[in-house]
Amino acid sequence: MRITNETLFFLIGIIILLIYHLFLWYRLTYQPFSTAIGRARIMRAKWVEMVMTEQKDILAVQTLRNWTMSASFLASTAIVVGLGILNFILTTEKLSGSSQRLNFIEYNDRTLWMIKLVLLSADFFFAFFSFTLAIRHYNHAGFLLNLPISNDLTVSSVVKVVNQGAGYYARGMRGYYVSIPLTLWLFGAYWFMVGCVFLVWMLYQIDRYEDA
């Protein structure tokens, strides 16, 4: 079966993203202090321990409020954009002329273009659910942080809830980041590959940690 340029450049972009995230997983597993995500997890654990042992209830409430507000805004934006794209798919009758002009690798097939829009919409839905799950964990953590430490409630168990919420928040942000190459994909797989290269470079700058 002949591999078209559209398929080839799309696969190259996907492979680039997969290789980078495998590299990130390896660093998080074996060298967590070399990544910003690993450092943040450890710092959140220390923050939870400080809040619970020193009973800094106001600090906990203010911090969780800020986290929740941020996740709520991003979740609202993601669902609006995702539904907007679906509405466009259901109401449009012709392809965008600009996408056809910029797609100089291959012709722009209508069915393929619709698939691209569906995937872009699904990406924003993924971000929406990630942020709402982050809000859920932050709300749960708000109760746990104000309870006294006991055999039934340990610092490590609260740290797990807080870090799970932060993990969902990070996944939601990844969803936003991935929307960059998915949007460029509307103009052709070549642009998708370029977007993946740019995204990996940007994520590497965000994810790495260097001591000052």
Domain boundaries, the chain: 34-207
pLDDT digits (tens, 9 = 90+) for 55-86: 787 888 888 889 999 999 999 999 999 998 88
Q: Residue 114 above 90 pLDDT?
A: no
What angle is formed at CA 116 by the lines to CA 114 and CA 121, rounded to 5 degrees? 95
Question: pTM for this one?
Answer: 0.86
Closest by CA to 148, choosing from 82, 52, 62, is 52
Q: Tell me the backbone φ, ψ of residue 21, rounded to 5 degrees.
A: -75, -30
Mean pLDDT for the chain overall: 85
Check residues 209 and 21 and name the one with the higher pLDDT.
Answer: 21
- Residue 212's SS3 state is coil
